[in-house]
Amino acid sequence: MIDRLIDRIEELEAPIVVGLDPLPEMIPDRIKRRAAETWGPNLKAAAEMLFEFNKEIIDGVCGAVPAVKPQIAMYERFGPEGVTAYAKTAAYAKGKGLFVIGDVKRGDISSTAEAYAAHIAGTEFGGERFEPWGEDAVTLNPYLGTDSVQPFIRACEKYDKAVFMLVKTSNPSSAELQDLTVGDGGKTVYERVADMTSSWGESTIGASGYSKVGAVVGATHPEQGASLRRRMAHTFFLVPGYGAQGASGKDLRGFFDAAGRGCIVNSSRGIIAAWKSGDRYGENDVGEAALAAALAMKEDLRKARE
């Protein structure tokens, strides 16, 4: 999966994943009204509102970026109907030729992890196998250790999927735990997790030189990101923190390898809420504004990859 993703990144010259993390205030009133008129003031209307908004974003960017990353919490807040909207969004994106990275951040004991791994392994019933989530990859919290991630790694190997372990996250308080020094040669916690992530991926390295076990490394930590790139030569990075969280292309030069590969950078609000920025766009320009923001990001990242 990572080899195919890298090929698509190179084809589009766009190491970009669009975060589909819609908040109600990001969604035009016309979409909200249509959902309410069709379904009434209920959670079905809320879920359809998310899906219709996502469709316009996907239609706008699908020829310019290789991937989207729906954050499941934004859908779960609306209950079962919201989860259905999440799955419908993934299916619609796949139909448009996009890779889907499910931002689910799962992490639990091994028996529970086996069930969670159905996100990428699929599930069987009545002698048939189903993939209800439609994801190519998911994010994982590896802080329960090896037995919590093994079911996902097996799914990667068997079904050509990928996972991204939380290694050094973009939020400001990540240092409270991730930067602590542990009794392993003076490594920080995130360095220890980085080494484990590299080890977990050794058996899944593809033709690109990158494994199916990737790492989440925040753009808001450029020095640590550059250090981790040197430390994790065969690990593909998913990089949040660009745009609304403060990072720009110049902060990411060290995240890419010498060939300008090795990571995909996420932007959420900066793309999906672009229609609200300035006087150029209105509520009928959701897809057009998203595309313009994605192309501007592409140019910004081009400089970082040179």
Transcribe 37-86 into DSSP letters: HHH-SSHHHHHHHHHHHHHHHHHHHTTT-SEEEEBTHHHHTTHHHHHHHH
Residue 212 has which token pair? 């199916």
Token pair of 301 as six digits: 């990242």
What is the CATH classification number for the domain harbouring 191? 3.20.20.70
Structure-block tokens of residue 257:
């390898």
Beta-bridge partners for 168: 217
Cα separation, 79 vs 152, whole angstroms: 25
Return the half-sphere exposure (C-beta side, CA atoms, 13 A cut-off) of residue 71. 16
CB atoms within 10 A of CB 221: 23
Residues serving a catalytic function are 105
Q: CA 239, CA 226: separation in Å to the nearest integer? A: 12
Q: Are strands 263-267 and 213-217 parallel, antiparallel or unpaired?
A: unpaired
In this structure, are residues 138 and 90 in contact, taking their beta carbons and an 8 Å threshold? no
Spacing of C-alpha 148 from chain mean position:
20
pTM greater than 0.75 = yes
Q: Which domain holds residue 57?
A: 2-305
- 110: which 2 tokens? 């091994």
Structure tokens at 200: 């977990």
pLDDT attached to residue 131: 95
Tokens of 149: 């991630």
The sign of the CA dihedral 303, 70, 89, 6 is positive
Q: Which two tokens stand for residue 14?
A: 């766009």
Q: What is the pLDDT along the chain (306 residues), one digit of tens a residue?
A: 999 999 999 999 999 999 999 999 999 999 999 999 999 999 999 999 999 999 999 999 999 999 999 999 999 999 999 999 999 999 999 999 999 999 999 999 999 999 999 999 999 999 999 999 999 999 999 999 999 999 999 999 999 999 999 999 999 899 999 999 987 688 999 999 999 999 999 999 999 999 999 999 999 999 999 999 999 999 999 999 998 777 888 999 999 999 999 999 999 999 999 999 878 899 999 999 999 999 999 999 998 888
In sequence order, which residues have a C-beta less than 8 Å from that of residue 305 and are 6 or more positions away? 15, 256, 260
Which residue(s) pair with 180 in the sheet? Answer: none
pLDDT of residue 260: 94
- C-beta of residue 167 within 8 angstroms of C-beta of residue 201: no
Put residue 302 in one of left, alpha, beta given phi > 0 → left and psi -120 to 50 → alpha.
alpha
Residue 183's pLDDT is what? 79
| Tally of domains within the chain | 1
Strands 237-239 and 213-217: parallel
Q: What stretch of H or E contains 242?
A: none
d(CA 129, CA 125): 7
Nearest CA to 58 among 48, 68, 50, 70?
68
